[in-house]
Chain A
Amino acid sequence: MEFFTTINSVYVMIGSIALGAMCGMLGVFGVLRKQGLLGDALAHAALPGIAIAFLIMGERILAGLLLGALVSGLLGAFCIQYLVKATKIKMDSAMAAVLSVFFGFGIVLLTFIQRLPSASKAGLDTFLFGQAAALLKIDVILMSSIFLFTLLVVFIFWKELKMFIFDSSFAAVLGFRSRFFEILFMTIYVLAILVSLQAVGVVLTAAMFITPAAAALLWTKRLLSAVVLSVVFGSISSASGAYVSIVAEGMPTGPVIVMAASVIFLFSFMFASRGGIVWKAIERYKYSKKVNLENLLAKLYRDTESGVNKWQRSDISLIMLWRLRSNGYINSGNEITLTKKGLVSGFKVVQKHRLWETYLVERMNFSHDHVHRDAEIMEHLLTDDVVEKINSILGNPKVDPHGKSLKMK
């Protein structure tokens, strides 16, 4: 593995994984609080702080810039909270307003800095688009310690955070210091954003917090498993982003990380155990197959009732013939006849239909000409247990409201 030979690549890798894991962890809380884009807003809000810190120090000292970003990020968080609490402005508008105003102010300061003759503005731009490949040992140590700190906070206050997310009014009733947790939550959020700004930049920081978390929440509804899954997704996408940007010259890390996370999201969207669209489509297909088969069996049974018990092969489509035969519903031959099994299955569908019509008319006072469509749906859904129950409620009726038999021929 030539890749790990340079010590710097190892730093970049460790830093990126710590970053992905941290954002993935915090992101779940953000997404569940419907504040997924909080990361986006606070990342933008940190910009003026960076610029002001630079103006004060006159040079690029990372710790100083990060302190500036921290202060202005927290100020942004405070403004969002205040706007929502003190006025009728909604959360999303407050986030959009703070994001754009702070960022606008940051741009004003940046253009101002660019005109300063003395200042070497080099390095401020990396905050806009991020540069994981330029991470140094000191950055990685900082990142990892912030990650461990947030991990510790989440671990200690797990129960409180859980309550805070899912039922803040219940938490308040229990005398829970929700203000304290609001501030705590915002602070660790902003800390994570600071780290992310360096690696993936202002614009794509949003994805670090949202995409792995959203993907994880497609798989599970349990908070703990969602957090673990999201951490895994975040780490995988960050690691692959870092790898590509080290191996392929000139590929920006941030966008590659986001692409990897998006692929994970897309995969989850299609295949997640809860609600993946592919499974839903398969279920729909299976159901429609079942409905078609049952409708055909019902028709064959009704034909039998009216005296027809032989059919030509050309009456039935090839695919349906095949399905009927493979289920053992018909005898093959030149002329088609129902087997005993086919007859019983057809009767069951018809019985469910007529029984449901009877039930609607007798017990729910529907008019007898208004029940067919409903029964058409229910004939595929009722189970044998329910049929038995309805039968006994209605006292084993012999005919349905249209005078058709409820007993098998």
Chain B
Amino acid sequence: MEVMIIVILATLTCALIGNFLVLRKLSLMGDAISHAVLFGIVMAFFIVGTLHSIWFFILSVLFAVFLGFIVQWIVERVSISRESIIGVVFTFFFALGVLLIVQFAGNIHLDTHAVLFGSVEFSVFERFVFLSFDLGPKSMWTLGAVFLLNIFLIKLFYKELKITTFDPNFATSVGISPKLIHYLVMFLTSITVVTAFEAVGAILVVALLVVPVVTSYIFNKRLNFMIGYSLFFALLSSIVGYLFSVYFDVSVAGAVAFISGVILCFVVILYKMFAYEQTN
């Protein structure tokens, strides 16, 4: 049950910020951050010495934000498309992270498999204990907190986000800085990816950031409906995916990603049929 709550919280958090990533053509940024942050995690581990402290978390988030800056910085200086630069930067940091683990950290508990595929099954063993009361898994609390932070900031800057996403020139002319909002999105993405991927792994994070959102994007024209439906699809894939994984005894993260893809498939087919009827 706790596993399911963690999965649901992760899917909702990712889908919420995912809407802005998809609309801003930054979908692959989630992929990049979730891989490159491996280097951040290793460095944070060297500095802090443990995987279970708030400083470790803060350093990882800072690194992810820094990554967004690097990509932006390079993109502004060369005439190569953004997504290629993302590819160069994230593979560099991932490779560096792997090499550091191989060279210096053979004995630390940094399992590259767990990093990539997630081990939500084990995340429930990490408990949040307050005054010797067991308040449930730690990831549940961190994810919950990040989810609330996302809701709060997105609600607060909803108008700005909307304008800068659809018409950056107009935004500049009414005094909203598209650059500032871009960094707000990158910050929220970073904190979401770092939190969620600790619990559910890099691949599921990418799936959750993008798949429910594009499913909803296919048939929605209005931003608030799009966000609403994406949250619905996220919820649906996490519940069905979880049950699927329990039934067949397979990886939870993989199952949720797979089910979200199946839902996307259904929606595309339904949409095509419906669109076909409309044209006749």
A residues bordering B, Cβ < 8 Å?
31, 34-37, 40, 44, 83, 86-90, 92-97, 99-112, 115, 128-129, 203-204, 206-207, 209-211, 213-214, 217-218, 250-252, 254-256, 258-259, 262, 265, 269, 275, 277, 280
**Min C-beta distance of A309 to chain B, whole Å:** 46
**Min C-beta distance of B84 to chain A, whole Å:** 3
Contact B91 A108 (CB under 8 A): no
- Interfacial chain A residues near B31, Cβ < 8 Å: 37, 40, 96, 99-100
Q: List 20 A-B contacts (CB under 8 A).
A: A31-B80, A37-B87, A89-B218, A92-B26, A92-B27, A95-B27, A96-B28, A101-B258, A103-B257, A104-B254, A110-B251, A112-B248, A210-B91, A254-B95, A255-B96, A259-B96, A262-B88, A269-B74, A269-B78, A275-B79
Q: List the one stretch of B47-55, B126-134, B264-272 in contact with chain A.
A: B264-272
Bound complex: CA A44 to CA B31 (Å)? 12
Contact B257 A40 (CB under 8 A): no
Bound complex: CA A206 to CA B272 (Å)? 32
- Interfacial chain A residues near B30, Cβ < 8 Å: 96
Contact A104 B253 (CB under 8 A): yes
Contact B80 A108 (CB under 8 A): no
Interface size class of B (residues with CB under 8 A): 35 or more
Given A104-B203, A111-B251, verify A210-B84 contact (CB < 8 Å): yes
Q: Which 8 A-B residue pairs are closest in the complex by CB-CB distance? A: A104-B257, A101-B261, A107-B254, A36-B84, A207-B91, A100-B207, A258-B95, A255-B95
Which residues of B from 20 to 74 have beta carbons under 8 Å from A?
22, 25-28, 30-31, 35, 74
Contact B84 A99 (CB under 8 A): no
- Knowing that A97-B207, A207-B87 touch, tell me 7 more A-B residue pairs with CB under 8 angstroms: A90-B25, A93-B27, A96-B30, A101-B264, A103-B203, A214-B87, A259-B92
- Interfacial chain B residues near A104, Cβ < 8 Å: 203-204, 207, 253-258, 260-261
Q: List the one stretch of B151-159, B187-195, B209-217, B228-236 in contact with chain A.
A: B209-217
Q: Is residue B250 within 8 Å, beta carbon to beta carbon, of the partner chain?
A: yes
Given A105-B254, A269-B78, verify A88-B207 contact (CB < 8 Å): no
- Interfacial chain B residues near A275, Cβ < 8 Å: 77-79
Q: Total contacts A to B, CB within 8 angstroms?
A: 202
- Majority secondary structure, A binding face: helix
Contact A259 B257 (CB under 8 A): no
Bound complex: CA A94 to CA B26 (Å)? 12
Bound complex: CA A252 to CA B97 (Å)? 12
Contact B98 A252 (CB under 8 A): yes
Contact A89 B261 (CB under 8 A): no
Contact A86 B84 (CB under 8 A): no
